[in-house]
Copies of this chain bind each other. A is one copy, B any other.
Amino acid sequence: MSTTVYKKIELTGTSTTSIEDAVNAAIARSAKTVRNMRWFEVVEIRGTINTDSVREWQVTLKVGFTMED
């Protein structure tokens, strides 16, 4: 009998709007090639600056997905 094993990958999503959008961008892109994604963990929030405001949010997250048998 085998138990569940997960793999975790690390992604950086970007957005000009919000932290939440950057996370969703990373997950949406990853969904094109990775199935069974279950959870994520935010590990870094940073970004670039446009003179006097945020130009781009860059959010790094780890995503865990079930490894299929």
Q: Chain A contact residues: over half helix, strand or loop, or mixed?
A: strand
Number of copies: 12
- Inter-chain CA distance A13–B52, complex, in Å, is 13
Interface size class of chain A, counting residues whose CB lies under 8 Å from the partner chain? 35 or more
- Inter-chain CA distance A47–B4, complex, in Å, is 13
A20:B23 contact, CB within 8 angstroms: no
B27:A54 contact, CB within 8 angstroms: yes
B11:A9 contact, CB within 8 angstroms: no
**Which A positions have Cβ atoms within 8 angstroms of B?**
2-16, 18-20, 22-31, 37-42, 44-49, 51-54, 57, 60, 62-64, 67
Complex interface: chain B residues within 8 A of A14 (CB):
3-6
